[in-house]
Structure 1
Amino acid sequence: MSTETILTLAKVLSGAGEDEEPLLEALCQAAERQWERRLRPGVTAEDCGEAFPCAAAFTAAADLAAARGGGQVSGFTAGSVSVQARSPAEAGTQAAELRRTAWRLMAPFAVPGDFAFQGVRG
Structure 2
Amino acid sequence: MTEEIMAMAQALGQVSESQQGALEALCVSAETELTGRLRDGVTPEDCGPAFVLGCAWLALAGLAGGQYGGGGSFTAGSVTIREAGSGENRERAAALRLQAETVLGPYLKDRGFMFQGVEG
The two structures share one fold, judged by TM-score above 0.5: yes
Aligned residues: 104
Map 1:1-122 → 2, pairs under 5 A: 2-69=1-68, 87-115=85-113
- Tell me which moved more, 29-38 or 2-11: 2-11
| Structure 1 residues 46 and 19, CA gap change in structure 2 (3 angstroms) | same
One-letter identity of the residue aligned with 2:90 = G
Q: How many Å separate the matches in 2 of 1:87 and 1:9?
A: 29
One-letter identity of the residue aligned with 1:52 = F
- Provide TM-score, normalisation by structure 2: 0.78
One-letter identity of the residue aligned with 2:100 = A
Q: Find runs of 4+ consecutive structure 1 residues off by over 3 angstroms.
A: none
SS in 1 for 2:12: helix
Q: How many Å separate the matches in 1 of 2:69 and 2:34?
A: 26
CA distances 1:38-82 after superposition (whole Å, capped 9, x unpaired) = 0000000000001100000000000000001159xxxxxxxxxxx
One-letter identity of the residue aligned with 2:7 = T
- Provide TM-score, normalisation by structure 1: 0.77
Structure 1 contact 55–102 (Cα < 8 Å) conserved: yes
One-letter identity of the residue aligned with 1:110 = L
SS in 1 for 2:108: coil
Q: How many Å separate the matches in 2 of 1:27 and 1:36?
A: 14
SS in 1 for 2:111: coil
Q: How many Å separate the matches in 1 of 2:29 and 2:3?
A: 13
Q: How many Å separate the matches in 1 of 2:9 and 2:29?
A: 13
Q: How many Å separate the matches in 2 of 1:107 and 1:116?
A: 15
CA RMSD of aligned residues (A): 2.1
